[in-house]
Structure 1
Amino acid sequence: MALDTFFIRAFVSVALASMAICTCNISRKEGHLVVKCRKERHFPIGLPPEVKDLDLKGCILQDLSRSDMSKFKQLRSFIANGCHIRRIELGTFDDNLELESLDLSRNPDIEASLKVKTICHISQVNIRIKVLNLAVMNIGSAKFILILRCLEKMKLSALDLSSNKIGRLKDHIFGRLTSLLDLRLANTYPVNVRAFTNLTLLQTLRLGNNELMDFPNFVDKETNKTLLPSLTALYLDYNRIRSLPGEPVDLERLEFLNLRGNQMINITSAGMVKVLPSVKTLFLNTNTRFRLDQSSFNPNLIRLELRDCHGEYSWETRNIFRGLKNMVGLSVSNSHFNGKNKTLGYIFKGMTKLSYLTVDDCGIKEIPDESFRDLVYLKLLSLNHNKISSLSPVLFKDLRSLEKLYLNYNRLTLIRDGSISSLLGTLQIVDLSYNPYACDCNLLWFLKFYRKAEIVIANKNYKGAYMCLSPRELFKVELSSVNMTDADCRHLSLGTKLGISLSSVLVVTACFTLLVYRFRWYMSYAYFLLRAKRREARERNDGIEYAYDAFVVYNRNDVIWVKDKLLPVLEDTARLKLCVHDRDWLCGRDVMDNIVQSIESSRKVLLVVSNAFAISQWCHLEMTLAQHRLQEEDRNALVLVLLERIERKNITPRLLLQMRRQTYLEWTEDDPTGQRLFWKKLRRAVQKPVGSIIHGSSVHQQAPHIAEDSIAPLLGSSTVEAELATCEGNASEANILSE
C-alpha cells in the first residue's frame, strides 16, 4: 500500500510539474484515492484516473465539460461547491457511471435552463447517485417543481435544497421521494409540513432559519397519524419558536433536537417528557430568554447544550440536573452561578456518567472542592475564560478518568504540586496557557513539569502563551527560559517569610489594642479637647465675611415669637444681623435658591423648633441642608431652640438624631429668670468668639463669677462644660419624650 502511494505521488508530481499547474493534495482513504484541490483557477489536469473522491471546493472553474470528467471512470464522489460555475455541458457526467454523491451547491450563476436540463439528464444517466446537494443554486419555484419531477426517477437517500427560493411547499410534493433518509430545507421559508407526506423512511429533517413561530406538528389531520414515523433527528435552529408544543407531535423515535438560536421562553417537564419523550440530545444554545425549573429536562437526555444562554443558576435551582443520571455531555458555558460558589459545588452532583463538561466564560473565581466529586467518568473538563486564581490540591482528585483539562485565560499565578499531579495517570492534554504566572519558588514544581511533561501541553509552542508576569525581573519572560533550580530555592521560602511577618504584625496589633483599651478614657478626653480647640481657632481666625450672623429657620405658626421677642433681643439689643425669610428673601426667586443662599451667607443657622416645625416638610428641608453644611465644614453651625415640648409622634428620626448629638436651649414662657439665662446663652451661641472659650474668655464679656461659669454654654464650650451641657440637654429631651 505504501509503495503504491509513493508511485502515485511521484507520477502526479512529475505530471503536474511538467504542465506547470498547482499541485493538489492526494491521499488514500479507506483504500481509495482522494484528491483535494483548493483555489485552482481552472479544472486541474494531470490527475490520476483512478481517483474516487474529487473535491474542488472553492476553485474557480466557470465551465465544466465532459472532457474534464471523462477519464475518472471510478469516480464515486464529486464536490464542486462554490466554484463559480456558469455553464455545465450536457452529458458532463455521462462517463462517471459509478458516481454516488454529487455536490453542485453554491453555484447560483448557472443558467436557469441548463440547471433543469443538466439535473434531469443526470437523473436519467447517473442512476446510482444517492446523495445530491443543490443548495444555494438560485432555483426558483417553477424550476424547482420541474427538477423535483426529474429527481423522482432516482433513489435518493439525501437531498439538500437549502437557501433556494422555492416558495411555499405544496402538499405531498416530496411524496414520490420515498427513499429519502435525509432532507435539508434550511432557509426556504415558508414551510408546509404536509409536503412530507409518504416520507416514511426519513430520519433527518433540517428546517433551520425558516422563521417558524411554533414547533411544527407532524400529525396528519386527515388520518391522525404521524407524517414522519422514522424521524430521529430534527433541526429547527435559528427560527422564532418560543416554546415546546403543548400536545404530542407523534415523534416517538426522535432522539436529536436542535433548537439553537430560537426565542424559547421556558422549558418544562411537561413539554419534554410528555411531548418529546425519546429525545436524548438537545441543543438550546443562544436562547437567552428562557427559564428553567427543577424538572425541565427529560431524564433520558444524554447530551445537553446550554451554551451562550446566559443562564442564572442559583441555589434555588441547584437540583436542575439532578435527575439526568444518563447524561454524558453537558455545556453551560457563558452562564452565571449565584450563591457564593455554593451552587457550583452542588449542581453537578449525581451525574456519575458525565464524560464531557464545558463551563467556559462563566465568571467563576473560586471552585469548591466538592464540585466534581461525583464525576468519576469525566474525560473532558473545560474551564476556559474564567477568573480562577487558584486550584485546590483536592479539586480534581476524584476525576479518575480525566483525559483533557482546559484552563486557559484564567488568573492562575501558581500551580501547586498535587493540584494536577493526581491526574497524570490518565491525563493526555492539559491547557494552562495565558495565565499570569508568578515565577518564584512556589512555581518550581510546575516549571519542572512544563519542561519534561510526558503529556501534551496545549499551546506550548505559541509565543506568549506561557509567560511570567511577576516578579519584576522576570516580567514577560517565557516559562521555558526561566532557569530556576532546587538550589535556588533552598533559602528561606517566601511562605516562611510571610508567616514571620504576619506573626509580628499580629503581636504589635494586639499590644496596641491593649494600650488603647487601657487608656481609652484619657484618649477620648484628649481627642475632644483638641477638637474643641481646633474649632475655636477656626472660628476666631475665620476670614470669611458673612452677610448675616444667623439664618433663622422657623414655621409660620411661630412668626409672632420671632418678630416680637427674638428679633428685638438679638438685633436691637445684641446688634446681631439675622436673616429672616419673611423679611430678607428676594421676591420671585426660587425657594430652594433662597434657602441655599441664606445658609451660605450666614455664619450660624438658628432652628426655632416647635410642634409645627417638627411636622413641616420645608422646615425639615432647611434643617437637612444646614446639617450637610455642618458636616462639610466640620464646624458648629447649628443652634437649636425649643419653643415648647415636642410630642413624641411629631419627632422624626433626623430631628431626634440632631437633639441627641447637640445640646439645645428651651424657652420658658412664665419664668423671667429662665428667660434672662436663655437670652444670655443664645447670644453667646450666635456671636462670633474671639478669645479662648476653653480658658473662659469671650469678646463680649468675661465670666463674672463661678456660678455663672458653671452654666455650660450651648456651643463652643470646653470638654467639661460640653459634658454638663449635654447632661442638661439630655434631661430636657427625656422630659420632652416622656409626654
Structure 2
Amino acid sequence: MIFKVFIFFSYFLPCLCGHGHPPKPPKCLSGYMTDVQNWVDENGRLIPKPGDSDNVIDLSTTTNPVQVLNEKMNLFRRRRTVRYLSLAKCQLTRVPPIFQLRDNEMRPLAMMLEYMTLFGNNFLGMSTAGEHYTLSFNATGTTVMNLSNSPQRQVVSVWSSGFTAVNFPNLKELDLRSCSIQTLEKNLFRGMPNLTALYIGENEIHFISSSAFYGLRNLVHLDFSRNEAFDENGNPKNLATDDYLVFNYLESLVSLDLSHTKLTLRNLGMLKSLGKSVRSLSLCDTGLTVLQDGIFNSTSLHVLDLSRNSGILNNQRPLRGLEDTLLALYAREVNLQRIDQFQNFSNLLVLQLAGNEINTVDLETIRTLKALKVLNLNKNRLNSWFEPTFSLLPNLHLLSLQDNNINVITEQMIADLINVNYLALSGNFMVCNCHAKDLYKMAAKNEKNNTEDFIDLPEELLHRNIYSYYNDLIQNRSKVGLEDCEELCFDDIGHSGSFRLLDYYPEAYVCLQVPESKTIFISDVYSCGRLAREINYEQELNGSRKKLLALLIIPCVLLPVALIFVFRRRIKYFFITMRNSAMLSLINKKDAVDGKNNTIFNYDVFVSYCNEDRGWVLDHLLPHMEAECSISACLHERDFLVGLSILENIVSCMDRSRSIMLILSQRFLLSQWCQFEMHLAQHRLLETRREDLTLILLEDIPRRLRPNTLHYLMMTKTYIVWPKDESERPVFWKRLKKTLIAQKNKPTENASLA
C-alpha cells in the first residue's frame, strides 16, 4: 500500500516555477498527461529517468517501426533491457504483434517493458484489408517469420489485436492517448496485472465493456479525459456500457480523470462503482447538469472537480456523503447562487467557486468551514459587507475576491480581513475613501514586517493545480511598497493585521474620486488620520454652535445661486423638455381615437439603435422585418419629421409605435440619445403597463457595464442574442418573427404617454 500511495503522489508533486508572471487559473483541476508524469513529452518522445538512457527504444514518428524495432533489439544483451518503448505517431492502424520479439539474450519484449506509449496513432475499430501485421523478424533478423499460422497469434478484428494473449508482468504505465480508439472490449488489459497508470484520453471511446478493466487490480491512476465520439451525422455519441459497475475491478484506483468527456445522467451509475480507495475525481466540463443525492456515499473522495457544468450543484444535497472526507472542491462556472450546499464540510481546505452568481455569503455555512484555508470567490456578485464574515474562518490563509461588485471599503470589512494572510481585491470598481487607503497602508506595513508564508497543504493535496497554482501566485506576486514612507506613516492606522495583497500592481488598485469624477491610485487617496478617528462629533457640535450655524447659513444662501449658475444649461433643457411634452400631448390627442382599446398606431415597432450598429439594422434586421414579417418599422434616420426637435421626434414616434425594440451593444451604451430612448422605453412600460418591448443583444454586455435601467430590463424581460455562428441564425429569426407577429396581433390599449 505504501508503494501505491507513493505512485499516486508522484503524479501530483508540485512544480514551482521561478519568478515571472502569475500563472493563469486552470480551466480544470486535472492536468494533462505530461503534467502528471515524467517519462514522455507532449509529442510522445521518451524522457527516461536518469540512468535509464541505455534501456530506451524511441521509434516515435518512424514509418516502419516493426522492422526497426527488431533491428534495435539485436543490440540489447546482458544487463540492458527494453524498459521504455515509444511507438508514438507511427501511423499504425492497430497494435502490432511485436511483443514476442526477443533480444540476443532470448528475452521477450513483453517481459521487459515497464513504460510504453502508442500516442498519436490512428487505430481502426475493425480489420482493414492488407493491414494485418502478420510479418515479423526473429531475434537475429535473418529469418522472416509468418505469424498468421501461429496458434498464439490469430488476427482479431479490433484495434487491440496485438495485446491478445500477451502478458506484460512488469508494465507500469501505458499511454494510449489520441489513437482514435472507439471501444474498450472485454479483458483488454487482463495481461497487465501490475499496471499503475493508464492514459486513454483524447480518443473517441463511446462503449466500455463491463470487463474492460478486469485484471487491473493495481491501477492507481486512470486518465479517461477528452473523449468525444460522433455519429455519421456529426451528433455526439453518449458513453455506453453493458454494466454500470465498470470501475468495480479497479480495487486500488486512487485518481480518476473524466474531464472534458461528455457524460449524461445515465453515466452517473458508473460513479457508484467507485470504491473507498478513490481520492481524486474530475468531472470538469462533462456536460452534467445534476448529481443524484448520495451518489458519492460509497467513496471517500479528497479532491473533486465539478467545474464548467452549469447547474450541477443546484439540487438540495448533491455532495451528501463527502462531509467528513472532502479536502478540495473546485466548482468554477457552475451557475451557483448560494453556498449552503457546503454546510458542515468541516475538513474542507480549498474551495474554488470563481465565475458563479453568488451575491451573499451564508454565515451559518461559513461557521462550519473551520478548516478552510483557500477560498476563491472571483467573478461573482459580492457587495461590500458590514458584519463579521470571513473572520469566522479561523484558518483562512488566502481569500480571493477579484472582479466582484465591491464598491466601498468599510471599516468593518478591514476588521473582518485582518487575519487573512493573502487577499486579492482587484477588478472591483471602488469609490475612494480613507478606509481604502488604510487597507493599502496595512498591506504595505505587513510586507515590511512579515516573511513569505506559503500555503501548507497535506500530502493528499499535492496536486499540481492545487498546490502549485496558489503557491506560485504567492511566489510571483508584486509587493506593495511605500519606499519613501517611514514608520510614522503607519502610526495613524486604526487596525493591525497580517494580510498582504496577492494581486497587487498599481493599475489594479485604483478608485473613483467622486468630487473630481476621476480615477486615481489608491496609494494617492487621503488618509483618515488619528484625529479624524478619535473625534467626538457630538461634543464638537455642542461646543461650536455659532460657527456651525454660520457654516450652514452661508451655503444655504450661496448654494442655490451656484447651482443655478452651474446647471443653467440643464435647467434650460428641463424647461424645453416640459414644453415639448406639453406640445406632444396636444399632438397625440389629435391623432388618438377615443376609446380605451382603439388607439391608432402609425408603426408596428420603434427601433432604437446607435449609429455604429446602423449597418446591421439596415442589412439584416430591416429586410427580415419588412419583407418576411410584414412589420412596419420606425427608424430615426428615415421616419423622424423635419422641423421637430430630436426629443419631440423620439417621444412622438415611440408613442405612435405599437412596440419598442432596443438593439443593444456596448456602443449603444455610449450614446446619450440611445440612453434616453432606453429610459423612455422603461417609462412607457411603467406608465402603460404594457409588455411590448423587445431586447436584441448584438454582443455580450458584462454586468459592470450595464446601467441600472438596462440591468432591470434584462432581468425582467426575455431578450434575444444575435448568434455569432451562422448556423444558429435561422432560429434567431424564427424567434424574432414569432415575437413581432404576436405583438402586432395583440389587442391594443391606450398607450399614449401624453
Structure 1-normalised TM-score? Answer: 0.48
User: Which one scores higher on RCO, CA 8 angstroms, separation ≥ 6?
Assistant: 2
Select the structure of larger CA radius of gyration. Answer: 1
Structure 2-normalised TM-score? Answer: 0.47
